[in-house]
Copies of this chain bind each other. A is one copy, B any other.
């Protein structure tokens, strides 16, 4: 990772962490166990790709970072809630997340359920705050966009397709459609909302940006599948090899590792082409794209 990029990510993530730290209810505030568990689920590291994407997209229109941080936190709360619910026994039944026991293991199932529910509410609460933009009409649109991305035609819908696909043989387009919903929708909205914190982008630029986000969302998933097949549990901080064990269709199970790697690089190229028109302002988005494809955790 380039030292300058490293420093930029450190700064952005410090902003997001300190905002989340401040806005999550403290664990001495009733109901204390729920609030402690919410903080456990959110303030436990993770790659924070979505917040980084929001900040990087914000730079395209020189958005104020004190605005982008709210968006980045809202999107990360939706992501964190989805992980807590996905790990539940009735879903992926996973016990390890980011190197620590999953929320329902550390606490209990009912607490984990309420943690996810409450984190989703908190995301919309933050995104409706006056700090986000001077244009309340635009802000309402951003709330709608996050709600659609999170809901049954976005992330939650992708999760439903995923559950339904266990043990089935999917075609490549079917697998792609699942991921466009399951992880893609939230990655796209992280980019779009970050860019929406300024009002300098044209409709056409938003379209280009959305295409960029779609490509890196898929690339992210392809790499995830490769890592699940190849990396160790220790390196990932979550249980490796779960996909094969659960008989889940993945890019690796359909294409094999070599072709999956080729696909990731192709997606990276397409993503980078979509950034061309933004010139130097797209530097951070380019660097994140490289990171997504080259990461080993």
Is A151 at the interface (CB under 8 A from chain B)?
yes
Closest B residue to A38 by CB, please name it.
B152
How far is B31's CA from A139's CA once the two chains are assembled, in angstroms? 28
Stretch in contact with the other chain, from A154-162, A208-216, A281-289: A154-162
Is A8 at the interface (CB under 8 A from chain B)?
no
Contacts of A34 in B (CB 8 A): 152, 156-157, 160
Task: Tell me, rounded to whole Å, the shortest Cβ–Cβ distance linking A130 to chain B.
Answer: 7
Closest B residue to A31 by CB, please name it.
B160
Is A33 at the interface (CB under 8 A from chain B)?
yes
Is A238 at the interface (CB under 8 A from chain B)?
no
How far is B143's CA from A130's CA once the two chains are assembled, in angstroms? 12
Which residues of chain A (55-82) have a CB below 8 Å from chain B?
Answer: 81-82
How far is B164's CA from A256's CA once the two chains are assembled, in angstroms? 49
Is A147 at the interface (CB under 8 A from chain B)?
yes
Given A118-B157, A161-B30: A151 in contact with B136 (beta carbons within 8 A)? no
Given A35-B152, A156-B117, A160-B31: A124 in contact with B136 (beta carbons within 8 A)? no
Task: Tell me, rounded to whole Å, the shortest Cβ–Cβ distance linking A6 to chain B.
Answer: 35
Is A121 at the interface (CB under 8 A from chain B)?
yes
Is A169 at the interface (CB under 8 A from chain B)?
no
Contacts of A82 in B (CB 8 A): 117
How far is B144's CA from A35's CA once the two chains are assembled, in angstroms? 19
Given A88-B113, A136-B136: A147 in contact with B128 (beta carbons within 8 A)? yes
Task: Tell me, rounded to whole Å, the shortest Cβ–Cβ distance linking A27 to chain B.
Answer: 11
Is A277 at the interface (CB under 8 A from chain B)?
no
Closest B residue to A122 by CB, please name it.
B151
| Residue with the highest number of chain B CB atoms closer than 10 Å, among A34, A118, A160 | A160
Is A11 at the interface (CB under 8 A from chain B)?
no
Is A264 at the interface (CB under 8 A from chain B)?
no
How far is B138's CA from A136's CA once the two chains are assembled, in angstroms? 9
How far is B2's CA from A269's CA once the two chains are assembled, in angstroms? 69
How far is B140's CA from A204's CA once the two chains are assembled, in angstroms? 27
Is A111 at the interface (CB under 8 A from chain B)?
yes
Which residues of chain A (20-68) have a CB below 8 Å from chain B?
Answer: 25, 29-31, 33-35, 38
Given A31-B161, A120-B121, 20 further pairs, Cβ under 8 A? A31-B160, A90-B109, A90-B110, A91-B110, A114-B156, A114-B159, A114-B160, A117-B150, A120-B120, A121-B150, A124-B146, A125-B144, A125-B147, A128-B143, A129-B140, A129-B144, A130-B137, A136-B137, A136-B140, A140-B140
A and B contact pairs by CB, cutoff 8 A, 8 listed: A34-B156, A91-B113, A114-B160, A117-B156, A121-B154, A124-B147, A125-B151, A128-B141
